Amino acid sequence: MAPVDELLQAQLQLARWTVAARRLVIFTGAGISTESGIPDFRGPQGVWTQLDPRQFDFQAYLADPELRRQRWQVYRDGGLGANAQPNAAHFAVAELVQLGLVDCVITQNVDGLHARAGVPEDRLLEIHGSNRFAKCLSCWKRYPREETLRWESDPAAGVPLCPACGGLMKSGGVSFGEPMPPDETREAIRRARAADLFLVIGSSLVVYPAAALPGYAVERGARLVIVNLSPTPLDHLAALVVRAKAGEFLPGVVAAVKQLRGAA
Ligand code: APR
């Protein structure tokens, strides 16, 4: 963790860039939700240090009714973030959006905490899907979570079947090997390419194609800032790297932004 005065300088620097930016895109990963009690994937207590990622593989889901039954039960129980609440980092991001300073928030997280913190749907791109809906794996129709919780599972399939086409249902989160939602992904690339300030919060930046987004922004001349507790492969591209907890660092950025705007 960086010394306090370094963090204060970084908060002021990021606040200045935020106020001056034409198009700020915020990109988040599991690290923004750890202070809500949701483990990340590759940090010291990350999920992949305890669970076998193959459990989450898309092909395994298609092939194994028992795995589908287990995964559907996890979805029904609410998944990793069942009772999690947005933390100070989510609220800081939402406040920057409400101040009109953010073009969009692109998140890899499926926990729905950005929406719950107040980021409006039209400013949020959930490129790894979300556990707030389930989808059919044949027609890709999406159904709100609350509606799907009432559905009975087909005994042979292990999960409910799509009411529209009879296809297998799956939670809205994207698994390894599963295609990413095309509309959200296309839009995220467009927004990254149009950004002049690209802020990464809590991502190891090792999972593609999501991890390509900061590079798209930098290619077009955007300034990159990375707030992450551990090093990432893109740190060398960043104008500023902050080794701090997002929930402790970002509120100070919002306070500095408000001061700068108040002073203006
Ligand atoms: N503040 C800042 N950074 C944090 C915090 C925190 N409070 N807590 C953890 N981190 C950092 C960790 O050091 C780690 O580098 O956040 C990063 C989280 O990285 P990952 O666990 O790899 O999560 P993410 O980058 O979102 O993973 C991408 O991989 O498993 C798939 O689909 C899954 O969307 C996920 C994708």
Q: Is the peptide bond before 209 cis (omega within 30 degrees of 0)?
A: yes
236: which DSSP letter? G
Q: What is the Å distance from ligand 1's center to 230 Cα?
A: 9
43 CA from centroid of ligand 1 (Å): 7
* Residue linked to tokens 């107040």: 118
Fold of the domain built from segment(s) 42-80+129-173: SIR2/SIRT2 'Small Domain' (3.30.1600)
The answer to whether domain 1-38+86-128+180-264 and domain 42-80+129-173 are alike in fold is no
Q: List, chain by chain if needed, residues with CB within 6 Å of any ligand 1 atom.
A: 29-31, 34-35, 40-43, 46, 108, 128, 202-204, 207, 227-230, 245-247
Cα 41 to middle of ligand 1, angstroms: 6
Predicted confidence at residue 8, as pLDDT, reads 95
How is domain 1-38+86-128+180-264 classified at the CATH fold level? Rossmann fold (3.40.50)
Q: What is the pTM of this model?
A: 0.95
Q: Which of 228, 248, 253 to mutate to test the pocket of ligand 1 (most atoms within 8 A of CB)?
A: 228
Ligand 1 mean position to 204 CA, how many Å?
5
Residue with tokens 């390419």: 193
Is 90 considered catalytic here? Answer: no
Q: For the chain (length 264 residues), average pLDDT per consecutive 10?
A: 84 98 98 96 86 84 95 89 92 98 98 96 96 95 96 97 98 92 96 98 96 97 98 98 98 98 78
Q: Atom 23, ligand 1: which residue's CA is nearest?
A: 30
The β-bridge partners of 198 are 25, 224
Q: Are 161 and 153 in contact (CB under 8 A)?
A: no
pLDDT at 2: 64
Atom 30 of ligand 1, nearest CA residue: 41
DSSP 27-76: EE-GGGTGGGT---SSSTT-GGGTS-GGGGBHHHHHH-HHHHHHHHHHHH
Domain chopping of the chain, boundaries: 1-38+86-128+180-264, 42-80+129-173
- CB < 8 Å & 24+ apart, contacts of 63-72: 65/156, 65/157, 65/158, 66/158, 67/158, 68/157, 68/158, 68/159, 68/168, 68/170, 69/153, 69/158, 69/159, 71/170, 71/171, 72/153, 72/158, 72/159, 72/160, 72/169, 72/170, 72/171
Q: Give 229: exposed, middle or buried? Use CB within 10 Å, 0-12, 13-18, 19+.
A: middle
The atom of ligand 1 lying closest to the CA of 174 is 32
